[in-house]
Amino acid sequence: MEKYQFVFFSGAIGFTAPHIGEVRKEITRRVEREKAESVRHDIELQMIENKDGVPKIQDSCYLYNDSFEMIHGSISETKNYLKESWRYRINKNHPPKKNIS
């Protein structure tokens, strides 16, 4: 999993950063300026693969539900969820080859 990194993304404001604090700060700035309270919890965690220097989103999920509670309890649990769901899809689409003797 070394070739993967995680970034935080807010689609409502089109802002991505490696630390959630940066995204929260930008959201707060925009909420105060544009009075758009609805974007406050619009944060998605993305699992990115850098392949030949080109970042590609492998998996993503929102951090908060409609009640503004963290869906998986914590950022680390959300990262674990993304890793496991990504592994599941990879294994499902590319099952190990059977050794026929």
Nearest partner of 78 among 41, 39, 50, 46, judged by Cα: 46
Token reading at 92: 């499902």
The string of pLDDT tens digits covering residues 12-70 is 888 999 999 999 999 888 888 776 666 778 899 999 988 888 889 999 999 998 888 89
Where do the domains of the chain lie? 4-93
pLDDT band at 97 (very low <50, low <70, confident <90, very high): low
Nearest partner of 8 among 35, 48, 38, 37, judged by Cα: 48
Determine the 3-state secondary structure of 37 from DSSP: helix
Residue 1 has pLDDT above 60, yes or no: no
What is the C-alpha separation between 3 and 51, in angstroms, rounded? 8
DSSP letter at 98 equals P
